[in-house]
Amino acid sequence: MTLASQNTSGSSDTSPETPLPSILDVSEDDLNYVVSQLGQPAFRARQLWRSLYHDGAQSFDEMTTLAKPFRAALEERYRISPVAPEVELRSADGSTDKVLFKLQDGELIETVLMRYGLDGHRRARRTVCISTQAGCALGCTFCATGQQGFRRQLSPGEIVAQVLHMRRVIRSENAALIAEGSAKKDEVTEITNVVFMGMGEPLANYNNTMGSIAVMNHGQGMNIGARHLTVSTVGLVPEIRKLAREPYQLNLAVSLHAPDDESRSRTMPVNKRYPIARLMHACRDYVETTNRRIFFEYVLLDRENDTPEHARKLADLLQGLMCHVNLIPVNPTEKGPYSRPNDRRSALFREILTRSGIPNTVRQEKGIDINAGCGQLRARSLDDAVETAK
């Protein structure tokens, strides 16, 4: 474990009670207004936007395309990042980083960076898994975040800042490889994918989630293709229907985790509000509207949802739907009641799906040694703080 010591706010010192607002929470339209109010020509807004999101500047002083008086005026009014790394961990195999961020009000959120090499049919990937809420109100019983309760929504800037931080990590690694001659500039990989699967329910923070997507997808900003952005949901039916009408060609991942109402309601309280029949109707409408497949997340819980009967029910439920199932052996939490199924049970479950024509994979596990599962590092850090205070 390493403690973060670098201040990346890019603002002048202020008291903890009155922090400056983050400029990452200023929309593109509002940024144009801010620049005009400061007496600058319109093209300065484009330069500022590019410095923030394309270049990833950590301070206003780094924005050398802007005049010094303009930079000074910005620094008086804003800080850059609204998040600060509190704990930064790396897995023993070097493939996974996890960062516990502290927000300006003291709340804690988690972000994970996963490095994937060439796997025979796909290029190397650098995937960031980000949070959209501090905590979560939906209470899934196998999820560490769900066991902690809901704290608040994250702003668009707090969501985007997680990706910007992890991109700096990757850019630093790439620069080192180029400097030592291990790779050429056109051979290194930047952030390729972002998945909204960290702490919280993205579609319960709909507007701020979509605001962050607009920034990530912006051609003059982070320029991450919409097809490389995946939004996960436990199954909020009205928001799934709303998402289908958005202009972005996003990936949708639905956390299903059981093929029938009785099983699903035991582990996912949201199922009582949006039962499976209603959820699947929305999913089929989503595919018909967007012509894009849906990814179904299915956490395998030993003796709870991993029987051959469950597999056959799941196959029947998904017949004829353009979809892919990601099977995920559960990463047990200290306070959770579930265990991982053994390899034989997982293999049998997958075999039944495959024989039924349902595309599926077992998700490659990363970062188990650094509590990379959603909410686990925050829970551990809070427990450590309690023990220290005793």
**Which residues are the active-site residues?**
110, 374
Contacts 24+ apart (CB under 8 A), 112-120: 112/198, 112/367, 112/372, 113/166, 113/169, 113/170, 114/366, 114/367, 116/364
3-state helix, strand, coil in the chain (%, to 5): 40, 20, 40
Going 199 to 203 to 208 to 209, the CA torsion angle's sign is: positive
Closest CA to 349 of 386, 300, 389, 285: 300
Going 131 to 137 to 140 to 145, the CA torsion angle's sign is: positive
The C-alpha atoms of residue 386 and residue 377 are separated, in whole angstroms, by: 14
Burial class (CB in 10 A: 0-12, 13-18, 19+), 177: middle
Angle formed by the axes of helices 343-355 and 308-318, to 10°? 30
The C-alpha atoms of residue 253 and residue 293 are separated, in whole angstroms, by: 9
Place of tokens 């190397």: 124
Closest CA to 283 of 311, 247, 324: 324
CA distances (Å), origin 170, targets 84, 127, 185: 17, 10, 13
CA distances (Å), origin 85, targets 5, 93, 181: 8, 22, 30
Contact of 148 with 378, CB cutoff 8 Å:
yes
The C-alpha atoms of residue 234 and residue 257 are separated, in whole angstroms, by: 9
The C-alpha atoms of residue 325 and residue 296 are separated, in whole angstroms, by: 5
Q: How many residues does the chain have?
A: 390
